[in-house]
């Protein structure tokens, strides 16, 4: 039996299987805000969120979507040959706008011939009936993935980070999306204050029993100018060492269903904003160490996704 390159169901493997080649994300900015910032659900956003609304590497909102795509394709092509892309609407809440505007920017992305799929980061409480209908229609043109920021299943932690919606809202959103044939990717954060391995693995187990297709395992980054940074300055809490985080990732990958595609294993924080953990800025080192450790432990045997 031939095993894939990585000892888990990686997004690289999934994209090559679907599209026949390597596919790269283009991080786009639709110029939206968030109901957790403008007073609809809360003010200030989630406690960990930077001024860029989790889209610090996204395109310039002053540019059209077509221009953002053009510029990011040029940057990628200067590094490697690329033929297909995912249009990833990353910054803030990307269904939090009038339907005509959403239809315009999403269609503009899908009309680009090299765009293979559309991925939309949003909140479960921003998926009303009209939005769902629009996404369902777009899904007939090219695959549409919806990325939901869950972070944790634990309501005490959710209140602390000011998530702004209950777990039941997430469950309803997943049901509504799946009933329309839309794929769901869930964002989780590992290392939130007050959560250890037990609580994190409970979130993983919960997601195994939901109809989701992908997951992002994001290391908590403490970034300058965020409310989390201000809290950390007054109430310093323990953050993972790289060795601790890799051990935790392996446990998560052992627990998660091999049918769930792993879209992220650590995440990027802008180096100029990162307060802790500083080792996380060396993403390639983290991933190489993880893969080496997994192979040393033989954790992939009988567990990893196979072609």
- pTM, two decimals, is 0.93
Residue 151 has pLDDT above 60, yes or no: yes
* DSSP states of the chain: -PPPSSSS-BHHHHHHHHHSS-EEEEEE------TTTBSSS-BS-STT--TTTT-TTS--TTS-HHHHHHHHHHHHHTTS---EEEEEE-SS-TT-S-HHHHHHHHHHHHTSTTEEEEEEEE-GGG--HHHHHHHHHHTTTS-EEEEEEEE-S-HHHHHHTT--S-HHHHHHHHHHHHHTT-EEEEEEEES-TT--HHHHHHHHHHHHTS--SEEEEEE--EETTSHHHHHHHHS------HHHHHHHHHHHHHHS-TTSEEEESS----TTTEEE-GGGG-HHHHHHHHHHHHHHHTTTTTTS---
Among 73-77, 197-201, 292-296, the range with the most confident prediction by mean pLDDT is 197-201
**pLDDT, tens digit, 9 for 90 and up, residues 62-118:** 899 999 999 999 888 777 778 899 999 998 999 999 999 999 999 999 999 999 999
Mean pLDDT of the chain: 91
pLDDT of residue 140: 98
Confidence of residue 148 (pLDDT cuts 50, 70, 90): very high
pLDDT of residue 3: 37
Residue 42 has pLDDT above 60, yes or no: yes
pLDDT of residue 91: 86
Residue 298 has pLDDT above 80, yes or no: no
pLDDT of residue 77: 78
Residue 300 has pLDDT above 80, yes or no: no
Q: Assess if CATH 3.30.450.20 describes domain 11-297.
A: no
């Amino acid at each position: 039996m031939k095993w894939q390159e990585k000892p888990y169901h990686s997004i690289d493997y999934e994209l090559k299987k679907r599209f026949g080649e390597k596919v790269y994300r283009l991080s786009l900015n639709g110029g939206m805000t968030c109901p957790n910032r403008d007073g609809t659900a809360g003010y200030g956003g989630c406690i960990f969120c930077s001024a860029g609304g989790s889209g610090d590497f996204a395109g310039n909102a002053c540019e059209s979507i077509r221009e953002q795509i053009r510029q990011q394709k040029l940057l990628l092509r200067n590094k490697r040959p690329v033929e297909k892309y995912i249009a990833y609407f990353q910054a803030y809440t990307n269904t939090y706008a009038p339907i005509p505007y959403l239809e315009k920017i999403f269609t503009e992305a899908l009309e680009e011939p090299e765009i293979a799929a559309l991925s939309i980061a949003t909140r479960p409480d921003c998926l009303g009936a009209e939005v769902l209908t629009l996404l369902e229609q777009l899904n007939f043109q090219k695959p549409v993935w919806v990325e939901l920021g869950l972070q944790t299943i634990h309501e005490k932690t959710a209140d602390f980070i000011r998530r702004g919606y209950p777990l039941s809202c997430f469950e309803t959103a997943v049901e509504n999306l799946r009933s329309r044939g839309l794929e769901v990717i869930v964002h989780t954060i590992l290392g939130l204050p007050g959560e250890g391995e037990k609580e994190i693995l409970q979130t993983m187990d919960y997601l195994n029993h939901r109809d989701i297709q992908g997951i992002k395992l994001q290391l908590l980054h403490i970034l300058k100018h965020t409310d989390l940074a201000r809290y950390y300055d007054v109430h310093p809490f323990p953050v993972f060492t790289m060795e601790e985080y890799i051990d935790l990732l392996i446990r998560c990958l052992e627990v998660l269903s091999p049918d769930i595609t792993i879209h992220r294993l650590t995440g990027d924080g802008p180096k100029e904003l990162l307060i802790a953990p500083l080792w996380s800025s060396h993403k390639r080192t983290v991933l190489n160490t993880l893969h080496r450790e997994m192979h040393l432990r033989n954790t992939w045997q009988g567990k990893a996704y196979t072609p």
